[in-house]
């Protein structure tokens, strides 16, 4: 059985092992694959594994041996699942592998903004504390989280985990979710999205990107937020209209944003958020702790074993 990994470097730049995968078939690994290289590298493969390399209907039509596509992520929009279904190709993803790590990154951004860790560490290293007349200094607001309202847009596994962390800080948790009020614990209040943006001190996005919600965070919603509010996005960059967010930050209509995702990755040099006021950006690494990546690889192997046994799991299409 021929297995091809099209873009394995981001998942495993060398600190993990592919050995378990190699026991499942004749395995070929590529760090990265360009669109022009997909067909040549995939020829003859029964199993294709991809993270961000797109598999289009055109690719799928020209790969007669292909029986299984494993997406090395939770989101699977890189695969034309309609074309795969028409061919009877199994498509699987890796759910929930990074849930603890994403919640951790949400609060890494929140705490950096609240306490300005990056700023003050830089100031100390520049010698400002050494030359300060007092035993301490600060030149930004320092924010205590106790009692603050955090609004979660989406309450799946990452949203719920983030809620648990917030409750540990003594925050009040509101959520916009399809779950009924009866499905929520009493400490999480179900609210309409407009209420959350208008009333919460922090809003954190935990919903998938769809055609319906693309750029739903725009001037209309941002203008309803408190000027002291913070926006966090560890979900998908396309949920936010980036120019609108940059304008809100630069004009002081919004205090700060902490982002781990952008609409195009890597971003274009002219992305307005790269120079926006109080905009803190990490390079899509919420998922990338070694523990989360090891879980991803373990689930990947179990997905393939289940497929080989005739009982595939984590299917994203029904055949």
Q: Annotated catalytic sites, by residue?
A: 236, 265, 284
Burial pattern 149-188, b for ≥16 Cβ within 10 A else e, equals bbbbbbbbbbbbbbbebbeebebbbbbbbeeeeeebeeeb
CA distance to 10, 51, 193, 233, per residue, from 294 (Å): 12, 15, 35, 24
CA dihedral 92, 93, 95, 98 (to 10 degrees): 150
User: Which two tokens mark 201?
Assistant: 């001190």
Tell which residue, 21, 7, 23, 3, has the closest CA to residue 67: 3
Query: Do residues 257 and 249 make contact, with C-beta atoms less than 8 angstroms apart?
Result: yes
CB of 24 within 8 A of CB of 304?
Answer: yes
Segment (H or E) for 115: helix 99-115
> Residue 139: helix, strand or coil by DSSP?
coil
CA 242 to the chain's CA centroid: 16
């Amino acid at each position: 059985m021929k297995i091809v990994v099209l873009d394995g470097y981001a998942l495993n730049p060398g600190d993990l092992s592919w050995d378990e995968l190699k026991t499942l078939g004749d395995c070929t690994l590529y760090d990265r694959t360009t669109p022009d290289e997909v067909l040549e590298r995939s020829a003859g493969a029964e199993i294709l594994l991809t993270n961000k390399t797109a598999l289009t209907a055109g690719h799928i039509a020209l790969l007669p041996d292909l029986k299984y596509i494993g997406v090395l992520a939770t989101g699977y929009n890189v695969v034309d699942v309609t074309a795969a279904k028409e061919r009877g190709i199994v498509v699987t993803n890796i759910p929930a592998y990074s849930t603890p790590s994403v919640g951790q990154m949400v609060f890494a951004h929140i705490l950096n903004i609240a306490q300005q860790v990056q700023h003050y560490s830089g100031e100390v290293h520049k010698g400002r504390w050494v030359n300060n007349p007092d035993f301490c200094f600060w030149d930004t607001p320092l924010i205590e989280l106790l009692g603050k309202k955090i609004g979660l847009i989406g309450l799946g596994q990452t949203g719920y985990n983030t809620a648990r962390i917030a409750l540990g800080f003594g925050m009040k948790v509101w959520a916009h979710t399809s779950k009924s009020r009866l499905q929520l614990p009493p400490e999480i209040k179900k609210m309409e999205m407009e209420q959350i943006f208008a009333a919460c001190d922090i809003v954190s996005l935990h919903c998938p990107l769809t055609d319906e919600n693309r750029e739903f965070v725009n001037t209309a919603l941002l203008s309803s937020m408190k000027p002291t509010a913070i926006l966090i996005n560890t979900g998908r960059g396309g949920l936010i209209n980036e120019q609108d967010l940059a304008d809100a930050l630069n004009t002081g209509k919004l205090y700060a944003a902490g982002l781990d995702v952008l609409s195009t990755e890597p971003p274009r040099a002219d992305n307005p958020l790269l120079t926006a006021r109080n905009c803190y950006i990490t390079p899509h690494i919420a998922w990338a702790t070694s523990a989360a990546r090891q879980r991803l690889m373990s689930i990947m192997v179990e997905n393939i074993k289940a497929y080989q046994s005739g009982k595939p799991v984590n299917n994203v299409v029904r055949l």
